[in-house]
Amino acid sequence: MHTINCHGTLIDFSVPKVMGIINVTPDSFYDGGKSFTEDEILKQAEQMQAEDATFLDIGGYSTRPGADEISESDEIKRVVKAIKIILKNLPNALLSVDTFRSAVAIKAVEAGAAIVNDVSGGTLDAKMYKTVAKLKVPYILMHMRGTPKTMAQRTDYNNVTLEVLKHLSEKIARARAEGIHDIIADPGFGFAKTRQQSFQVLNNLELFQNLGIPVLAGISRKSMIYKTLETNVENALNGTTVLNTVALLKGASILRVHDVKEAVECVKLFQNLKS
């Protein structure tokens, strides 16, 4: 049974957990600009907590394919503002900061974030592992190649599942050697992977149990869903629910989603199926 320690709260993954996405960016692929004022940020956080999200993931830098870069100081301002607003009103919320920059991770954890979620798995900032080890918080380590701007061109694999697994296991070993104790693996659906490659990784997700740590599935409303269904991101909720169910059946411990209520229902039904 996997557990992680978030600011002294022990989270046990015998029942999978749901992580709600709060993007404080004007250009995210689905909800860009939706939660940008203090009231909007708080309203979204309150709704997600009411719907039983275990974690709220705060992102101030859009990592959609081809996204523009923003300065470190702008990213810090965005995430710290959101973290302070949420914790002032919801002091028990477990917040994760979605960043690949160690300086942002430091300021976010100082403001009260309990987890660092790094889409680059440490490849875009050489100080990240040492920083997270010093901060003594859990670390979500994702597989990606290149940067958000270049990753769409980095999809040449002989066997995508095995290469992603190998990459993650090497990174986990390095992160542990630096002193990070609680690690969660994220295969990085859509990050430096074609649609078909993302489906292949999902189809083999049970193999990621061999890493010996919780696995996060971040599939919510991604292009692997809406492009396959020949629709758009707004109409991708049903497809998201279907693939979240597949991820649970294949051993995912965390569903990272835009729509918390539906993901929590997935988990409840899955638990009844298991029992």
Convert the pLDDT of each residue in 118-156 to its tens digit.
999 999 999 999 999 999 999 999 999 988 888 888 989
pTM: 0.94
pLDDT band at 29 (very low <50, low <70, confident <90, very high): very low
DSSP assignment string, the chain = --EEEETTEEEETTS-EEEEEEE--TT-TTTTTTS-SHHHHHHHHHHHHHTT-SEEEEE-S--STTPPP--HHHHHHHHHHHHHHHHHH-TT-EEEEE-S-HHHHHHHHHHT--EEEETTTTSS-TTHHHHHHHHT--EEEE---S-TTTGGG----SSHHHHHHHHHHHHHHHHHHTT---EEEE--TTSS--HHHHHHHHHTGGGGGGG-S-BEE--TT-HHHHTTTTS-GGG-HHHHHHHHHHHHHTT-SEEEES-HHHHHHHHHHHHHHH-
Whether pLDDT at 191 is above 90: yes
- Catalytic residues, by residue number, are 222, 256
For 88-107, write each residue's pLDDT tens digit: 999 999 999 999 999 999 99
Q: What is the pLDDT of residue 185?
A: 98
Domain 3-274 adopts which CATH fold?
A: TIM Barrel (3.20.20)
Average pLDDT over residues 29-58: 84
Domain ranges within the chain, ordered by starting residue = 3-274
Average pLDDT over residues 214-229: 97
* Top-confidence residue, 29 or 174: 174
pLDDT band at 115 (very low <50, low <70, confident <90, very high): very high
Average pLDDT over residues 200-223: 97
